[in-house]
Amino acid sequence: MSSLNIPMPREQLERIVRQIIWQQITVPLEAPGGATESAYTPNLVVNISARHLHMSKEHLEILFGPGAELTVYRWLYQPGEFASEQLVTVMGPNRKAIESVRILGPLRKFTQLELSATDSFALGITPPVRPSGQIEGTPGCLIVGPKGVVELRQGVIRAERHVHMSTADAQVYGFTDGQYIRLKVNSDCPAVFEHIFCRVHPTFLLEVHLDTDEGNACNLVNATSVELLP
């Protein structure tokens, strides 16, 4: 899925370093007749989601020209999701700007900018913490592309920390879709994150998404182990 024959840019190296694959919970699955036939062991991955945009087709064409498409820069851990090669500048009030913000694909119905708290200070915007997709009443921003400008009326959020998991993962842990759980990160800055939103879907891979501030706060890059807790 993620084997693109392109040179590994610095960003990707950092991403791989940040990716903490860990947790071994082995739950024997009972075969008919009582014999233990196989075991399913979820691999918990905790990744930092740096600032990024999701985008509508309409906005993409304004920013990059009619007929513009997102092209794959790097596949992400969740199947079908990718970081695109398309970069834009986002601007808050008073012309405070952040350059080279990456658009994630595939395209969505609505445009959404996800920032860390530190990013939002730099832009002079105060976005609320929201689950992805819930953008009603959130602040907007200006998006500047090579071919045009979009004045986004709403859609700037600080993404609510969450975990993606398959139905099988949820069964192993005993969690359900929509439940809030906790994440423990063991490092030299250990932390327990409360209020991690569980998103269960058959095609999801087990992955926690924290933002840059959250990842830095617990020194996730140098974590020795991570653990999901009820």
Q: Which is nearer to Zn ion, 15 or 209 (CB)?
A: 209
Distance of alpha carbon 86 from alpha carbon 1, whole angstroms: 20
Q: Alpha-carbon torsion 65, 88, 151, 139, what sign?
A: positive
161 is an interface residue for Zn ion by CB under 5 A:
no
- 43-65: burial string, b at 16+ Cβ within 10 Å, e else: ebbbbbbbbbbbbbeebbbbbbe
- Residues near Zn ion (CB under 5 A), total: 1
130 is an interface residue for Zn ion by CB under 5 A:
no
Minimum CB distance to Zn ion, residue 132 (Å): 7
Minimum CB distance to Zn ion, residue 147 (Å): 29
Q: Which is nearer to Zn ion, 59 or 209 (CB)?
A: 209
Residue nearest to Zn ion according to CB distances in the complex: 209
Distance of alpha carbon 60 from alpha carbon 64, whole angstroms: 6
Q: Which amino acid is at 91?
A: M
Q: Which of residues 196-215 bind Zn ion (CB under 5 A)?
A: 209
158 is an interface residue for Zn ion by CB under 5 A:
no
Among 205, 201, 206, which residue's Cα sits nearest to residue 226?
Answer: 206
Minimum CB distance to Zn ion, residue 204 (Å): 9
Minimum CB distance to Zn ion, residue 79 (Å): 13
Q: Which residues bind Zn ion (CB under 5 A)?
A: 209
